[in-house]
Amino acid sequence: MEFDITDLVPGTSQFRDEVRTWLDEHLVGEFAAHRGVGSPTDDTAWEVRTAWERELSAGNWLGLTWPREYGGRGLGLVEEIIFEYEYARAAAPARVNTQALELLGPTLLAFGTDEQKQRFLPKILSVEEMWGQGFSEPGAGSDLASVRTRAAFDGEQWHVDGQKVWTTFGQHADWLYVLCRTDPDATLRHRGLSLLLVDVAQPGVEVRPIENLYRSTEFSECFFSDALTGADMVVGGVGNGWKVVMTTLGMERGSALMPMQLAMQREVMDLVEEAKRSGAVDDALVRQELVDAVIGVQLMRSTNLRIVVDLLRQSGGEPGAATEAAATVSKLFASIHHQRIGELAVDLLGPDAVFAKVHQRAEEARKLFLLSRAETIYGGTSEIQRNIIAERLLGLPR
């Protein structure tokens, strides 16, 4: 049975129908030809997807829960969840400015000054400015407290020096939000950190794309050499960067994984159809792997449903400890299971998926297999997720 959140929240079917109608009317032509293209870490068909995001902006579908004064619609979490499910169900092209819409924007709403909100939020919603995240470094990935990029204040502006890596869509970014060490003498590593907003268009910033296994360049490394930013470009106050960043990272959980379940479900059902087409489904072992894949996405569905219900019950939509724990489990399982789906895909397609661009199904299988390898790393490595589950959910010692 297909999940429909309107069954849980009476009176929301009208909004769901509004979303469906708009998508039916606007997801046409070139946009329809790029259904399902891209992901939060795949910049395929960037120009088409950017145009599509501007179409969404014109329809006022970006920042649904953001205040109206900044260009949002001031709606609730339930409407946002409905939109994300309908968006995933329609297989609309993946949005390009997710770093701003899902991470920086909510962070500014929580910690930004009135001036920062007025300056940046409307241009995010109008798709005028793209953002990238400057957190990870060559020696500080999951252990963000070890960041060494420094920012020194000269009384008028900040001077930033250092390096960031794995910046998603960094080569497309107009601005970066950068975690910097502003107090190198702080006694504890997580203290003395600040989150700065840095304009890319200056001599002190260099962005270099990184080619991945699939030969695409959605990640970049960023170098700062006396890059400058204003005194008013600190989010949440000087020295408060750890709290701000932990809030930002928490936004990568919760409802963010729910549309992924629908996307994976489509991938699995495509594999079922491919197995039927090729006759591989007659193999008992293949059938078992397909059943396991289907069960996996249904487990994701159940976990995500619990997260949705918990979020809707929370006052103001703020996730509690149990919800955060469930989201951590969901992220860990989703990343591992997606890799298994990718492995099954190339097994079913055989040599076509490895050696040659024979047809679209083989190309999609190869892409799924290669790109899913990174999913147990980005967004929090599986090792770190297991530590979080052990310590916070099971109560085991550090």
pLDDT digits (tens, 9 = 90+) for 66-97: 999 999 999 988 888 889 888 988 989 999 99
| Predicted pLDDT at 323 | 61
Q: How many CA atoms lie within 13 A of 363 on its CB side?
A: 6
As beta bridge partners, residue 151 has 160
Q: What is the pLDDT of residue 351?
A: 82
Average pLDDT, the chain: 86
Examine the domain organization and report whether 57 and 165 are in the same domain: no
pLDDT at 312: 57
291 and 158 co-located in one domain? no
Residue 142 near residue 199, CB atoms below 8 Å: no
Q: Would residue 243 count as lying in a domain?
A: no
Count: domains in the chain: 3
Q: Say if residues 246 and 320 touch (Cβ distance below 8 Å).
A: no
Give the mean model confidence (pLDDT) for residues 332-358.
85
Domain membership of residue 229 (yes or no) is: yes
For residue 282, the one-letter residue type is D
Q: Are residues 159 and 202 in contact, defined by beta-carbon separation less than 8 angstroms?
A: no
Regarding whether 353 and 308 lie in a shared domain, the answer is yes
Instruction: Give the whole-angstrom CA distance, residue 246 versus residue 314.
Output: 19
293 and 384 co-located in one domain? yes
Query: Which of the listed residues 204, 238, 272 is the one where a domain comes to its end?
Result: 238
Last residue of a domain, one of 238, 269, 287: 238
Q: Do 191 and 282 reside in the same domain of the chain?
A: no
pLDDT of residue 371: 82
My answer on whether 31 and 59 are in the same domain is yes
Contact 105, 32 (CB under 8 A): no
Structural domain that includes position 377: 253-394
Residue 157: inside a domain: yes
In this prediction, residues 195-202 reach a mean pLDDT of: 98
Exposed, middle or buried, 62 (CB in 10 Å: 0-12/13-18/19+)?
buried
Output the domain CATH number for residue 10.
Answer: 1.10.540.10
pLDDT, position 191: 86
Last residue of a domain, one of 95, 116, 144: 95
pLDDT higher than threshold 60 for residue 363: yes
Catalytic site includes residue 252: yes
Which candidate in 206, 252, 343, 364 is catalytic? 252
Contact 169, 130 (CB under 8 A): yes
Residues 291-335: tens digit of each pLDDT: 999 999 888 877 776 766 665 565 444 455 666 667 778 888 888
Handedness of CA 168, 173, 179, 180 (dihedral sign): positive
| Torsion 132-135-137-142 (CA) sign | negative
Q: What is the pLDDT of residues 246-264, one digit of tens each?
A: 777 666 554 456 667 777 8
